[in-house]
Chain A
Amino acid sequence: MSAAGLDVGAERLDAPPRTGRRLQWWHWLVIALAGLFVLSVLEAVTGANDIVSSGAIAAAFGLAVPIALAGLGGLWSERAGVVNIGLEGMMILGTWGAAFAAVHWGAWAGIIGGIVGGLIGGLIHAIATVTFGVDHIVSGVALNIIGLGVAKYLSARFFANLPGGGPTQSPSLPDLPRLTIGGLSDGLKSVEDDNIFFVSQIAAVLRALCTDLSVLTLLAVVLFVATWWVLWRTAFGLRLRSCGESPVAAESLGVNVIRYKFLAVLMSGALAGLGGAFLSLVAAGIYRDGQTGGRGYIGLAAMIFGNWRPGGLLAGSTLFGYTDAIQLRAGTQTVHAFLLFVAVVLVAVGLWQVIRNHRLVQGIGAIIMGALVAVWYFTTDAVAGELTSTMPYVTTLLVLVFASQRLRMPAADGQVYRKGEGH
């Protein structure tokens, strides 16, 4: 009898549960409220009153939705093990498809048009990577270039002769219905205008959520919930994710890996296309060459930020959308006030790292950075205009560098899989 063997076995069985606690939905709510509280304090301290206004929050959602939809597309694809940096290209195809359909058959058809445009991009990526085993990065980069070129060609071909259109832009597009819950919105406005500490800020957020909301935004929310449910609560989703973790094991258990991957990439294209449709139909009301402006890449980054999970992705895109909104709106003044926020967060994260996690290097690094930002805040009156537009990215980078990261991508993500490889 080998005691050692038993010990080993017992150790395995008793291995402590993962130290990283899984965050429940109410954790997120608490974090969101805490963040809002800090921002309210910031408003009170600095007097920059556009930090949490319903206008700023509404603008943040408007900027976050296309990023979130692109990221959701990335999530589907990468969960099935196919890296998708072609999101930008698919999104561009979506903007054109949506504009074309909306011009000819109305705004609702525009949604379908955007999905079809993205779907075509997804189809190319799926055929290249899944069927023919082309390297995912190569195919994705190619798709970005193809998407750009094709959309340029198509808009010159189909929009140039329409009234109000041109070779680089569509005629103005019909708008999708927007929803406002009348009584609630007005009631919240009066609360927001009363300027009660923290209460007004909550009212501002709620008001942004029930005022002038595009149906496409609602659709995006539904898609997020649906994605979570399908991928994490159904047998279909488990099989799809197993293709991203270990396709060999999945196939040995009878999962048709190729089919699942193909479907996931198609879904990915459709979602990215929908993000493009939001951009041209809702955010801009017009198609223009180059209007995606790299949002597909930001979506990909938001997905990685969110640890390949819908909740995290949503938080990531909101962070991008919010910081972008406030830098675009009030510019230098609000961004300057925001420096104080960044300083406080950095110091808090640093203390947390030192005290709870005993990570001296990261912790002290964060505290020093925080102190430097604070010095910057107190010695200046405004942030130079040249720097304000970098704020979304700097904020994210700082969060990622100094927060403890437990990012884990799907184990077989990015690997080319050929049918029957495991035999």
Chain B
Amino acid sequence: MRQTMKAAAAISAAALALTACGGSSSDTASGSKSSGGASGAAKVKVGMAYDVGGRGDQSFNDAAAAGLDKAKSELGVETKEASAVNGENEAAREERLQQLVDAGYTHVVAVGFAYAPSVGKVAKANPDAHFAIVDDASDDSKGDNVAQLTFAEQEGSYLVGAAAALKSKTGNVGFVGGVNTPLINKFEAGFVAGAKAANPKIKVQSKYLTQPPDFSGFADPAKGKTAAEGMFQAGADVVYHAAGGSGGGVFDAAKAANKMAIGVDSDQAKTAKEGVRDVIITSMIKKVDVSVYDFIKSGTEGKDLTGNKIYDLKAGGVDYSTTGGKIDDIKSKLDTYKQDIISGKIKVPATVG
């Protein structure tokens, strides 16, 4: 009995440790100051709260950082950055935003839907500050001083889905999602719809690496590789990923199997590691940098953005990349789809099935 109790104690302690890890909040804040150059910009100070991964993730956060950098050099705003910690709790996120406000930052950009409830709360508590949240348009983050910057990921994914189907010789393509959330579902929905449009008989394999609240699926290349290997061995020859850092594993698997892959968020044929760039035929680009820059610019002009601003294909918020010339032969077809989506002839679903 004693042994059982001890084993139980060990297990529960392990569980405790997991949650304890989640509770720890160690912000890596790196302040950077620049002398307010442009006139009128001196009043705008931008605080940026990144999602897990932070600046340097060569993906989502880096895209946001690029927008911030552009604003800094072109508009001369003062900036401060802070990163999230994997598995942190709600209070830690609220605290981070509040600290930015307290430090005098007038415009706070929260990167990632995980911030939704905290942005809602902190925005209410600080009616004089301006907030932006990337990737969320829910009621949680709604507010008079909140700009909700979202993207029509399904439209960009539709285009790369069509590209995958047109490029596939086996009539079998795959989708690897990082975590099964409504946001990543949009990628899958668009991809499936696009693939079916280009080839009605196409077979699409889908897999999510983890289920929320386990968000490790965005940072586990080993799992991404295993999932993609399975798809390639089951007959797929093009796999699209929306799995953040796990996507590196998808590219590795494609390289090893001598098959094709499609990148996400940024032009990954330029940003992925050198050895695998040649397997990336295209990427679904999501211009987070543009949205962040727009928000800051509107602030410097005194016309602060509020409400939900959707960056879709029409607005140039999403697109596909052509780096490497791997899809030059089907570009005209893809552009036809693109025009049809922009004109409203094709309606891309945002949910699966």
The smallest beta-carbon distance between B17 and chain A, in angstroms, is 4
Please report the C-alpha to C-alpha distance between residue A37 and residue B121 in the assembled complex, in whole angstroms: 58
User: Quick one: closest B residue to A293, CB to CB?
Assistant: B216
Contact of B55 (CB < 8 Å), options: A56, A141, A152, A167:
A167
Please report the C-alpha to C-alpha distance between residue A413 and residue B5 in the assembled complex, in whole angstroms: 12
Please report the C-alpha to C-alpha distance between residue A169 and residue B219 in the assembled complex, in whole angstroms: 9
Contact of A283 (CB < 8 Å), options: B206, B208, B222:
B222
Answer whether residue B47 sits at the interface, using C-beta atoms and an 8 A cutoff: no
The smallest beta-carbon distance between B250 and chain A, in angstroms, is 12
Complex contacts, A148 vs chain B, CB 8 Å: 21, 24
Complex contacts, A409 vs chain B, CB 8 Å: 3, 6-7
Please report the C-alpha to C-alpha distance between residue A62 and residue B252 in the assembled complex, in whole angstroms: 14
Would you give 20 A-B contacts (Cβ < 8 Å), ordered by A?
A55-B229, A63-B226, A85-B10, A148-B21, A149-B26, A167-B54, A168-B52, A168-B53, A172-B275, A283-B225, A286-B221, A290-B219, A291-B220, A291-B222, A297-B17, A329-B207, A331-B205, A385-B211, A389-B211, A409-B7
Are A145 and B230 in contact, with the CB atoms below 8 A?
A: no
Are A291 and B219 in contact, with the CB atoms below 8 A?
A: yes
Please report the C-alpha to C-alpha distance between residue A294 and residue B216 in the assembled complex, in whole angstroms: 9
Answer whether residue B346 sits at the interface, using C-beta atoms and an 8 A cutoff: no
Instruction: State which residues 266-296 of A face B: CB under 8 Å.
Output: 279, 283-286, 288-291, 293-294
User: Quick one: closest B residue to A135, CB to CB?
Assistant: B13
Are B55 and A284 in contact, with the CB atoms below 8 A?
A: no
The smallest beta-carbon distance between A88 and chain B, in angstroms, is 7
User: Quick one: closest A residue to B222, CB to CB?
Assistant: A283
Are A285 and B221 in contact, with the CB atoms below 8 A?
A: yes
Complex contacts, A156 vs chain B, CB 8 Å: 28
User: Quick one: closest B residue to A136, CB to CB?
Assistant: B10
Are A168 and B56 in contact, with the CB atoms below 8 A?
A: yes
Answer whether residue A18 sits at the interface, using C-beta atoms and an 8 A cutoff: no
Please report the C-alpha to C-alpha distance between residue A141 and residue B20 in the assembled complex, in whole angstroms: 8
Given contacts A164-B273, A285-B248, contact A328 B24 (CB under 8 A): no
Answer whether residue A217 sits at the interface, using C-beta atoms and an 8 A cutoff: no
Please report the C-alpha to C-alpha distance between residue A180 and residue B223 in the assembled complex, in whole angstroms: 23
Are A284 and B86 in contact, with the CB atoms below 8 A?
A: no
Answer whether residue B58 sits at the interface, using C-beta atoms and an 8 A cutoff: yes
Please report the C-alpha to C-alpha distance between residue A55 and residue B233 in the assembled complex, in whole angstroms: 7
The smallest beta-carbon distance between B174 and chain A, in angstroms, is 10
Contact of A329 (CB < 8 Å), options: B17, B221, B230:
B230
Most buried by B among A144, A329, A408: A329
Contact of B229 (CB < 8 Å), options: A145, A301, A329:
A329
Complex contacts, A408 vs chain B, CB 8 Å: 3
Complex contacts, B83 vs chain A, CB 8 Å: 167
Are A56 and B230 in contact, with the CB atoms below 8 A?
A: yes
Answer whether residue B76 sits at the interface, using C-beta atoms and an 8 A cutoff: no
Contact of B227 (CB < 8 Å), options: A88, A284, A328:
A328
